[in-house]
């Protein structure tokens, strides 16, 4: 999809990858960019930088997603590209995560993508054109050492994006799924941990890769090239892959005081 003159919505736009995406879309001459975040002040700052509008939303609540779509439609008469980017790290580990922690990370990291697709796809299908971009993680393709909730929800996010692509890709709907390793954002402010094994990239690098994927209708967006090789190894010999990850787990445990 050509980005120029398109109407765009970006969630999680107050900082990090979301803000970088909003700026990149503006620089690519999108017609309009709506900056969405639960942090309204941050979303307003992003909107000011790109001459767009800001909307406060908890993406884990469908009513908030409906409000975003309604306001974006009022602004530009429709939505061409919806970037479901917002996500959280959640509670690390396994035994420390309570039921409400699992519910919270599930709503933000998985249901937000479902709510967005459910409510924005009808107008795109009616026009015969539209694009959905979701931010998952390399953890969704591989796993996340030390965090069960993050691993499970990001895997589900990748799976849902793939299902949408399979189901609606031949009906004019483009789908891309962003799966980076460590990115320099608020989530990695305390250090990248094991996710930084192949280095940390800037949000602008991830955003540039996303825009390239949208232009080329490329599903998997992996700013860290190593991820593609890891996927091949995992698919070729799952047991060997798990053994390697178990060794990495042991290294991770040694890093914890």
Residue 134: closest CA among 6, 12, 14, 223: 12
Q: What's the CATH number where 161 sits?
A: 3.40.50.720
Phi (first) and psi of residue 190, to 5 degrees: -85, 5
Domain count across the chain: 1
Q: What is the DSSP letter of 249?
A: H
Residue 146 lies in a domain: yes
For 170-229, the pLDDT digits (tens) are 999 999 999 998 888 776 656 656 656 667 789 999 999 999 999 999 999 999 999 999
DSSP 31: S
pTM: 0.93
Residue 93 resides in a domain: yes
132 in any annotated domain = yes
Phi, psi of 28 (to 5 degrees): -85, 10
pLDDT of residue 83: 98
End-to-end Cα separation, the chain, in angstroms: 48
Looking at residue 206, its pLDDT comes to 94
Q: Is residue 79 part of a domain?
A: yes
Distance separating alpha carbons of residues 242 and 151, to the nearest angstrom: 14
**Euclidean distance between CA atoms 247 and 179, whole angstroms:** 23
Q: Which whole-number Å values give the CA distances from 187 to 87, 170, 181, 207, in the listed order? A: 10, 36, 12, 16
The answer to the question of residue 247 being in a domain is: no
The pLDDT of residue 190: 61
Which residue has tokens 């700013």? 223
257 is a domain residue = no
Q: Quote the pLDDT of residue 183.
A: 87
Strand order in the sheet with 53-56: 53-56, 32-37, 7-11, 81-84, 130-135, 173-178, 220-221
Q: So what's the pLDDT on residue 257? A: 55
Instruction: Give the tens place of pLDDT for each residue, 55-71.
Output: 999 999 999 999 999 99
* Residue 182 and residue 196 in contact, taking contact as beta carbons nearer than 8 Å: yes
**Would you say 176 and 157 are in contact if contact means Cβ atoms under 8 Å apart?**
no
Any idea what DSSP says for residue 201?
A: B
- Per-residue model confidence (pLDDT) at position 245: 92
Q: Specify whether the CB–CB gap between 8 and 27 falls below 8 A.
A: no
Range of 38's domain?
7-228
For residue 253, what pLDDT is reported? 80
Which residues fall within 8 angstroms of residue 171, CB to CB, at 6 or more apart?
125, 128
Adjacent-strand bridge partners of 183: 201
Residues of the chain with pLDDT under 70: 187-198, 255-257
pLDDT at 251: 84
Residue carrying structure tokens 């069960």? 148
**pLDDT value at residue 62:** 98
Q: Could you tell me if residue 249 is inside a domain?
A: no
DSSP 193: G
Residue 236 lies in a domain: no
């Amino acid at each position: 999809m050509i980005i120029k003159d398109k109407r765009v919505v970006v969630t999680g736009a107050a900082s990090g990858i979301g803000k970088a995406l909003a700026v990149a879309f503006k620089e690519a001459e999108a017609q309009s960019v709506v900056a969405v975040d639960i942090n309204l002040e941050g979303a307003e700052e992003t909107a000011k930088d790109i001459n767009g509008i800001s909307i406060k939303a908890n993406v884990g609540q469908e009513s908030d997603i409906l409000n975003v779509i309604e306001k974006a439609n009022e602004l530009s008469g429709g939505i061409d590209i919806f970037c479901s980017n917002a996500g959280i790290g959640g509670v690390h580990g396994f035994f420390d995560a309570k039921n409400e922690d699992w519910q919270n990370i599930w709503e933000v990291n998985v249901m937000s993508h479902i709510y967005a697709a459910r409510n924005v796809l009808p107008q795109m299908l009616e026009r015969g054109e539209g694009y959905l971009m979701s931010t998952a993680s390399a953890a969704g393709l591989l796993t996340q050492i030390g965090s069960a909730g993050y691993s499970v929800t990001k895997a589900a996010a990748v799976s849902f994006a793939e299902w949408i692509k399979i189901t609606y890709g031949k009906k004019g709907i483009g789908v891309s799924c962003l799966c980076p390793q460590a990115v320099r954002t608020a989530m990695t402010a305390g250090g990248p941990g094991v996710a930084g094994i192949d280095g940390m990239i800037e949000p602008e690098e991830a955003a540039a890769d996303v825009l390239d994927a949208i232009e080329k209708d490329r599903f998997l967006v992996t700013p860290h090239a190593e991820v593609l090789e890891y996927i091949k190894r995992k698919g070729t010999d799952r047991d060997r892959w798990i053994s390697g990850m178990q060794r990495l787990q042991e290294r991770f445990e040694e890093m914890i005081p």
